[in-house]
Every structure is written in C-alpha cells, then in structure tokens.
Amino acid sequence: MNSDNPEHAMTFGELLELIHDQQRRINVLETAFSYLAFGLEKKSCQLLTHSLKLEANNQTYDEKTQQYFAKLAELFEMRNSGMGDIPSTNSDRVS
C-alpha cells in the first residue's frame, strides 16, 4: 500500500481482482490467437509456427517466455495437422 499517495493506494483484494482480470484477458487473447491456425492457409500457418519456434529459442527472452512461445508453436502445429479438438492455450499449463 502506498501511504505517501492515497490516490494510488489499493487494497490487497483489489490488487488480486486486478491480477485475476488480467489473467482472464490474457487467456482470451491466447485462445483467440491459437484459433488463427484454422483460418490460415497451410503455408502461412507453417511460417507462423516457424517464427514462433524462433522466438522460443530467442535468448533475449527469459526461460518461461521461451516456453510459452514453444507451447504456442506446438499448438499451431497440432491444429495445422488436422488433429481436431486441441485444448486452448493457458498460461498455467507451461511447466
């Protein structure tokens, strides 16, 4: 809590709600983005998957971010291969 500036103070509960809201928004964006594979031509999807794999190996990102890129690339590959109902991405699933 910022006691120097009460206008910017927020309770712990408000902070948690803000974090949960951001997590929900990110999950929606990840899911929407992962469904792009169904609307792209095969070559475009392959190029996107390749680009995501390059980002997964980009050393300027921390390890967790690289894992997220790799997981998204994996989902695009599975969807592009026609495997059907692949679960959407979720930030909590990266180990």
The SS3 call for residue 3 is: coil
8 A C-beta contact, residue 62 and residue 39: no
Instruction: Note the pLDDT of residue 93.
Output: 53
Tens-digit pLDDT string for the chain (95 aa): 455 666 778 899 999 999 999 999 998 988 888 787 788 888 998 999 999 999 999 999 999 999 999 998 998 888 777 654 445 555 455 54
8 A C-beta contact, residue 23 and residue 92: no
- Tokens 């902070």 -> residue: 15
- pTM beyond 0.75: no
Instruction: Note the pLDDT of residue 76.
Output: 85
8 A C-beta contact, residue 85 and residue 20: no
Cα distance from N-terminal residue to C-terminal residue, the chain: 32
Other CB atoms within 10 Å distance of the CB of residue 92:
7
Instruction: Note the pLDDT of residue 5.
Output: 67
Other CB atoms within 10 Å distance of the CB of residue 80:
18
